[in-house]
Amino acid sequence: MSERPLPVIAEPDSSAFWAATASHELTYQRCSECERVVFYPRRHCPYCASLQLSVHKSTGMGKIYTFTIVRRSDHPFFGQRVPFVIAWIELDEGFRMLSNVIDTGLDQLTIGLPVQVQWEDYDDLSIPVFKKADSA
């Protein structure tokens, strides 16, 4: 079975994010100057260029903003997972991330569906994916 391609965690802006995933913490940043939520992780605020970013832990609860179902892939890993779901997830804290929706029937997928984070564990990090929320 082919293995999932994993992020390079030595990358300076995102290394802390990936390190936190190993303990199942989904983190995001907030700008101390303009107070906007910042995601993906980076060194400066994309809205006001401030370097004063603080890191916060997300509850991992959100909703599907939009999604697509991949039914064919020539990639050695993703090809064995079809059909699978790629979705923009809107987290309750106000940021969006691209991820997969797993363990949820394709006929249950809707825009706005409440979802909660799940983790695929690897040696040095975990990949955040989502499933239909228990409360949905």
Size of the site for Zn ion (CB under 5 A): 7
* Residue 51 binds to Zn ion (criterion: CB under 5 A): no
Span of 19-27, 49-57, 72-80, 82-90 interacting with Zn ion by CB under 5 A: 49-57
* Residue 47 binds to Zn ion (criterion: CB under 5 A): yes
Span of 39-47, 63-71, 76-84, 124-132 interacting with Zn ion by CB under 5 A: 39-47
Q: Sign of the CA dihedral 78, 81, 83, 85? A: negative
Please identify, using beta-carbon distances, which residue of 6 and 51 lies nearer to Zn ion. Answer: 51
Are the C-beta atoms of 33 and 48 separated by less than 8 Å? Answer: yes
Span of 48-56, 61-69, 81-89, 101-109 interacting with Zn ion by CB under 5 A: 48-56
* Residue 45 binds to Zn ion (criterion: CB under 5 A): yes
Q: What are residue 69's DSSP bridge partners? A: 85
Cα→Cα distances 127→18, 26, 65, 87, Å: 8, 10, 19, 14
Which residue type occupies 60? G
Instruction: Report the C-alpha gap between 100 and 120 in whole angstroms.
Output: 11
Nearest distance from residue 53's CB to Zn ion, in Å?
8
Please identify, using beta-carbon distances, which residue of 32 and 68 lies nearer to Zn ion. Answer: 32
